[in-house]
């Protein structure tokens, strides 16, 4: 491969990792206060911002990845974020 293609491939990997990290940091910020049971029931806007945006970014990472293994790992991240968020909401609703 010519060096320019290696540079472009490296940039793509860095972008994928940065987007994945940003998604998980947004979710982590949501876990600090708005999504936790001690703060009460979160509003729909809190759920969209702190769960919806990270899930959308992770879906973008799946679409952008060329490897099926990476897509599987990011898919597991999405499942984990959704499951943990659902369990927090269930805990807050006392169902």
pTM of the predicted structure, to 2 decimals:
0.85
CA angle centred on 21, ends 71 and 30, rounded to 5°: 110
Task: Decide: 16 and 71 in contact? Cβ < 8 Å.
Answer: no
Average pLDDT of every residue of the chain:
87
d(CA 24, CA 77): 9
Task: Decide: 49 and 27 in contact? Cβ < 8 Å.
Answer: no
- 8-46 pLDDT, tens per residue? 667 778 888 899 999 999 999 999 888 887 778 888 999
CA distances from 54 to 4, 7, 49, 86 (A): 31, 27, 8, 14
Q: Region 41-69: what's the mean pLDDT?
A: 92
């Amino acid at each position: 491969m010519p060096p320019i293609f290696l540079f472009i491939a490296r940039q793509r990997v860095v972008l994928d990792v940065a987007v994945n990290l940003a998604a998980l940091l947004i979710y982590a910020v949501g876990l600090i206060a708005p999504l936790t049971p001690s703060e009460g029931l979160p509003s729909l806007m809190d759920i969209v911002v702190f769960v919806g945006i990270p899930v959308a970014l992770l879906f973008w990472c799946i679409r952008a990845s060329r490897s099926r293994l990476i897509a599987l790992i990011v898919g597991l991240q999405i499942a984990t974020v959704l499951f943990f968020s659902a369990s927090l909401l269930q805990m807050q609703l006392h169902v």
